[in-house]
């Protein structure tokens, strides 16, 4: 059985081309494809200012980290950005160990991530 | 207060101390002497049976804490068994649960003793089909065992990551006709060992060895291969791969972080 990952997507107030994506569950090899499809679709539609809220993301493995790096790279190529907020300690440690913390924009909370997006304008 | 003692029939290194009645301040000296006599007889593990205890005074609780300290200094311990609900609540209010482990029965206390002091290991064997969908349940099950055995949340999460990455790797790079993957887990108080066996195509197996030997320690955005193995290498204490015609065997050891 696949693990459950649910993405709740909403607009970001006062951020043109912005979306907030709430990740809920485990991001692993069983659901990276569906996650990749959903976020790639958003980016293709022009929503390139993205904040990913990880408050309810319990687990990420290396495959999941791979697509997060991909989202970050793709958004930057389209003059946007992919920012991450509310990362739990265990997940952050994995991100840090693998060295991805230097490649991803990580914030303590969603508000800080949004303020940084607004400052870019 | 009345105290009687007997050597456990289960293990002669354990002494059962039966306490009865009210444990008052005036019983401190007698209690201390009994503990000292037990320690002098070179027995350092005590199960305090308290099902017939009706009251524990603060001074006597302090005395028991001191006795436990003397046992711990000798590499032993004391646990408490059979407290009634009211007394247990009262002792918790007094902070005794920070010092003593409370168990409902002697059987559970013996389990604790074996786990903590006799290098007892639990072995779990799992066979799973070579499908990615089978991995999440296995990784969460194994992480749950680690947590239940007293490993920290951080350790359990790392163990979950190790199981996930190694099992996924065995599936993704395994021979597509392989019938199953076997996972053997051995866990004791100090370390966790994982053995994953599968049939891997020789060229894939050699890639696996290359990734491990390449000493990769970070992952770049364009580098999609070997990130999982690099991660496992960094969060475990040792990783060994053996490859022959019958298949690939990956053995990982991770020490408990507070051991």
Q: State whether B165 and A62 contact (CB < 8 Å).
A: yes
CB nearest to A97's CB, from B135, B221, B235: B235
pTM reported for the whole predicted model: 0.77
Using the predicted structure, report yes or no on whether residue B90 has a pLDDT greater than 70: yes
Evaluate if residue B161 carries a pLDDT over 70.
Answer: yes
Facing residue for A29 by CB, picked from B168, B219, B221: B168
pLDDT at B205: 63
Q: What's the pLDDT at B244?
A: 80
pLDDT at B221 (0 to 100): 45
What is the structure's pLDDT at B80? Answer: 97
Rounded to an integer, the average pLDDT of A63-69 is 95
pLDDT of B149? 85
Query: Which is higher by pLDDT, B233 or A121?
Result: B233
Q: Is there a contact between A1 and B135 if contact means CB atoms under 8 Å apart?
A: no
Interchain pair A66, B137: CB under 8 A: no
Full 3-state SS string of chain B: CEEEEEECCCCCCEEEEEEEEEECHHHHHHHHHHHHHHHHCCCCEEEEEEEEEEEECHHHHHHHHHHHHHHHHCCCEEEEECCCHHHHHHHHHCCHHHCCCEECCHHHHHHHHHHHHCCCCEEEEEEECCCHHHHHHHHHHHHHHHHHCCCCHHHHHHHHHHHHHHHHHHHHCECCCCCCEEEEEEECCCEEEEEEEECECHHHHHHHHHHHHCCCCCCCCCCCCCHHHHHHHHHCCEEEEEEECCEEEEEEEEECCCC
Residues in chain B: 259
Q: What is the predicted pLDDT for the residue at B207?
A: 65
Looking at residue A60, its pLDDT comes to 96
- Please write the tens of the pLDDT for every residue from B111-131: 888 888 887 888 999 999 999
Distance between CA atoms of B47 and B82, rounded to whole angstroms?
A: 10
- ipTM for the complex shown: 0.92
Predicted confidence (pLDDT) at residue B152 exceeds the cutoff of 60: yes
With cut-offs at 50, 70 and 90, classify the pLDDT of residue A111: very high
Most A-contacting residue of B221, B223, B236, B257 (CB-CB within 10 A), to test interface: B221
% of chain B surpassing 70 pLDDT? 90
Predicted confidence at residue B135, as pLDDT, reads 95
Assess A66–B contact: CB distance below 8 Å, yes or no: yes
Compute the half-sphere exposure of residue B69: CA atoms within 13 Å on the CB side of its CA. Answer: 8
Interchain proximity B133–A2, CB inside 8 Å? yes
pLDDT of residue B214: 60
The 10s digit of each residue's pLDDT in B199-241 is 876 666 666 666 666 655 544 444 445 688 889 999 999 999 8
The helix (run of H) or strand (run of E) holding residue A6 is: strand A5-11
Q: Which comes out higher in pLDDT, residue B172 or B125? A: B125
pLDDT digits (tens, 9 = 90+) for A67-110: 999 999 999 999 999 999 999 999 999 999 988 999 999 999 99
Q: Does B247 score more than 50 pLDDT?
A: yes
């Amino acid at each position: 059985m696949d693990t459950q990952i649910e993405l709740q997507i909403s607009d970001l107030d006062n951020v043109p081309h912005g979306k907030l994506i709430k990740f809920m569950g485990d991001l692993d090899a069983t659901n990276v494809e569906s996650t990749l499809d959903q976020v790639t679709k958003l980016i293709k539609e022009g929503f390139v200012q993205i904040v990913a809220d990880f408050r309810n993301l319990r687990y990420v493995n290396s495959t999941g980290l791979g697509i997060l790096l991909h989202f970050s790279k793709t958004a930057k190529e389209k003059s946007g950005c992919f920012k991450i907020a509310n990362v739990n300690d265990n997940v952050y440690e994995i991100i840090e160990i693998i060295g991805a913390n230097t490649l991803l924009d990580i914030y303590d909370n969603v508000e800080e991530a949004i303020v940084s997006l607004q400052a870019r304008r | 207060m009345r105290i009687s003692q007997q050597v456990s029939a289960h293990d002669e290194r354990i002494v059962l101390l039966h306490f009865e009645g009210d444990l008052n301040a005036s019983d401190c000296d007698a209690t201390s002497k009994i503990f000292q006599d037990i320690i002098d007889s070179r027995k350092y593990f005590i199960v305090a049976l308290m099902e017939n205890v009706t009251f524990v005074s603060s001074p006597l609780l302090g005395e028991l804490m001191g006795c436990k300290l003397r046992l711990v200094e000798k590499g032993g311990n004391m646990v408490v068994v059979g407290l009634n609900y009211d007394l247990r609540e009262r002792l918790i209010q007094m902070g005794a649960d920070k010092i003593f482990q409370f168990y409902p029965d002697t059987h559970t206390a013996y389990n604790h003793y074996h786990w903590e002091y006799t290098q007892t290991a639990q072995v779990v064997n799992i066979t799973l089909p070579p499908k990615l969908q089978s991995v999440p349940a296995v990784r969460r099950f194994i992480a749950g065992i680690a947590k239940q055995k007293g490993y920290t949340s951080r350790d359990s999460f790392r163990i979950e990551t190790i199981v996930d990455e190694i099992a996924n790797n065995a599936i993704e790079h395994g021979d597509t006709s392989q019938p199953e993957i076997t996972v053997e887990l051995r866990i004791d108080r100090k370390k966790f060992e994982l053995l994953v066996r599968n049939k891997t195509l020789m060229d894939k197996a050699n890639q696996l060895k290359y990734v491990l030997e390449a000493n990769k320690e970070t992952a770049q955005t364009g580098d999609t291969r070997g990130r999982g193995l690099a991660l496992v290498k960094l969060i475990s204490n040792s990783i060994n791969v053996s490859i022959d015609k019958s298949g690939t065997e990956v053995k990982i050891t991770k020490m408990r972080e507070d051991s």
